[in-house]
Structure 1
Amino acid sequence: MNVNQALSLLKEEGYKFTGKREQMLSVFAEESRYLSAKEVLTALQTNYPNVSFDTVYRNLSLFEEMEILEVTELDGERRFRFHCSTNHHHHHLICLDCGKTKQVDACPMEWISDNNDEEFEVTGHKFEVYGYCSSCTEGAGA
């Protein structure tokens, strides 16, 4: 997903184009990591000093609902990033310090599906691996 694709999708669904929405989407385009609502709010306040947390969170929820953004939870806080532009099934490694992500093509569901005794019907799954990227590990002196 990118800014233009997201704006087109919003337009197709009948949502108004606003500068705030465009800037919010631009914030995600500039980052390859999960961002908290507070981080998005801070980024918007340069051009929109009176923007409210409610406005930011309402738009983040809309973007999630429209699958423009994907969401995860880190340290008890919802974090958002652009929905992956790839259509193939994959998962992510997520840095607990900076929030950067790395795509992983392997899926543990293959093992689970092969070993499921048919007493459980799987309807979906989410698999994320948490740790620290090399930049954060090096920066911490580890």
Structure 2
Amino acid sequence: MELNEAIQKLKREGYKMTAKRKDMLRFFAEADGYRSAKNLLNYLEPAYSGISFDTVYRNLHLFDEIGVLETTQLNGEKHFRITCTQHHHHHFICKDCGKTKEIDVCPMNEVRQKLGNYAIEDHKFEIYGLCPVCQEA
């Protein structure tokens, strides 16, 4: 999902698009991977003096709830990235820097066969490790 798509989705859902929300979404749209709420807060503080962690988390929760951000857990902390909508895929996620690499393999065909009479509603498949840059560091 690109920045403009995320903004339009927020508006379609009936939410006001403020400059702060646009800057939050821009931060994730320009990032190459998952970022934490603290990363976002540090990014916003120079432009929005006194912005609270509550404000950041409230908006992150909203963005996740309406589907413009997706989440994962890294080192016990929730991280966020702009939702990918181009095609179905999964991710390798670097545990140090949060960078992601798309994986076009999906195990769901095999899983569906093994769970024949179960109603699968959704899935998430992620692989965690270290990217080449973080391995060298």
Aligned residue pairs, count: 137
Report the counterpart of residue 109 of structure 1 in structure 2. 108
Query: What displacement does 1:85 show?
Result: 2.9
In structure 2, distance between residues paired with 1:29 and 1:117: 36
TM-score normalised by the chain length of structure 1: 0.89
Tell me by how many angstroms 1:117 deviates.
6.0
**Residue 121 and residue 7 in structure 1: after superposition, are their counterparts in 2 closer, same or farther (change >3 A)?**
closer
1:73-92 matches, within 5 Å, as 73-86=73-86, 88-92=87-91
Deviation readout 1:4-26 (Å, 9 max, x if unpaired):
11111122222112111011011
TM (norm. structure 2) is: 0.92
For residue 130 of structure 1, what is the aligned residue in structure 2?
128
Compare 3-12 and 91-100 and name the one that shifted more.
3-12
- 1:120 deviates by 4.5
Say which one has the larger Rg: 1
Aligned residue identity for 2:126:
E
Note the C-alpha offset of 1:111.
Answer: 2.3
How far apart, in 2, do the equivalents of 1:66 and 1:74 lie?
22
* C-alpha displacement of 1:63: 0.6
Shift of the alpha carbon at 1:121? 4.3
Kindly report the root-mean-square deviation, in angstroms, between the aligned alpha carbons of the 2 structures: 1.5
Distance 1:41 1:76 in 2: 18
Structure 2: gaps of 5 or more residues: none
Distance 1:25 1:96 in 2: 22
The within-5 A match list for 1:19-34 is: 19-34=19-34
- State the alpha-carbon separation in 2 of the partners of residues 91 and 53 from structure 1: 30
Structure 1 unaligned residues grouped into runs of 5+: none
- Structure 1: how far apart are the matches of 2:45 and 2:88? 36
Q: Could you tell me the percent identity over the aligned residues?
A: 53
1-structure distance, mates of 2:12, 2:115: 44
Please tell me the residue identity of whatever aligns with 2:107.
P
Q: CA shift at 1:68, angstroms? A: 0.4
Alignment of 1:35-74 (within 5 A): 35-74=35-74
